[in-house]
Amino acid sequence: MKQKILAATNNQNKAKEFKEILGEWFDIITLKDLDIKVEPQETGETFLDNAIIKAKAVFEAAGGKYPVIADDSGLVVPALGGEPGVMSARYAGVDADDQKNNQKLLKKLANASDRSAYFICVIVYMDKDNIISAEGKTFGEILTQPEGGNGFGYDPLFYSYDLKMSFGRSSAELKNQVSHRARALAQLREKLKAVK
């Protein structure tokens, strides 16, 4: 029987990616499956800090019954000193949506000659004895205008060097082969196989 692991996310797209990549080895269950409502405050200064905050909050909310995986991810633009970084989801303010975040990014990069960027994902596995972390990155650059309507967040602005197109134009299947989350999950999977 596969070990159950609780995905510490309310985002069903993210939970689906976890299942697709780890499902062969683990039975991924969600907060929705257990009817647990928890919204941890992401107050960390790094992606790792925030992933651990989420993992701990969900581990405790589930009474420590299940190991938990949690991630924090975002877009890093070196020309902007690493912005949006850990503030990626809230870049244009607490009530910001994808469109406002994208508009702010384009405005800040208006005169930039260096538009290179990368998505980073840090994933943490937590059980009563272990905290294991893994990291994945995917590289590209920020376009001058959105391309494609697929994905979410900054995907329409992110031109992937791997795919030679924006994540907004990519299918979910193609994106999942090269995404920061897929790479972090693949690294985590190898680490967990070594522990189990």
> For residue 196, what pLDDT is reported?
60
CA 43, CA 80: separation in Å to the nearest integer?
Answer: 21
β-sheet with 68-76: strand ranges across: 26-30, 3-7, 68-76, 116-126, 131-142, 158-160, 165-166
Phi, psi torsion values for 184, nearest 5 degrees? -65, -40
Q: What single-letter amino acid sits at 33?
A: D
Q: What is the DSSP letter of 35?
A: T
CA distances 127 to 1, 47, 51, 154, 170, Å, are 18, 19, 14, 32, 35
pLDDT in tens, the chain (196 residues): 888 999 998 887 788 888 888 888 889 999 999 999 998 888 999 999 999 999 999 999 999 999 999 999 999 999 999 999 999 989 999 888 999 999 999 999 999 999 999 999 999 999 999 999 999 999 999 999 999 999 889 999 999 999 999 999 999 889 988 999 989 998 998 898 777 6
pTM above 0.85, yes or no: yes
Check if 72 is active-site: yes
> For residue 39, what pLDDT is reported?
87
> For residue 11, what pLDDT is reported?
80
* Cβ contact 102:157 at 8 Å: yes
Phi, psi torsion values for 90, nearest 5 degrees? -120, 25
Q: Of 71, 72, 98, 155, which one is the catalytic site residue? A: 72
CA 134, CA 7: separation in Å to the nearest integer?
Answer: 15
Instruction: Name every residue whose Cβ is closer than 8 Å to that of residue 112 and which is 6 or more positions away in sequence.
Output: 79, 80
> For residue 133, what pLDDT is reported?
97
Instruction: Name every residue whose Cβ is closer than 8 Å to that of residue 125 and which is 6 or more positions away in sequence.
Output: 5, 55, 67, 68, 69, 131, 132, 133, 188, 191, 192
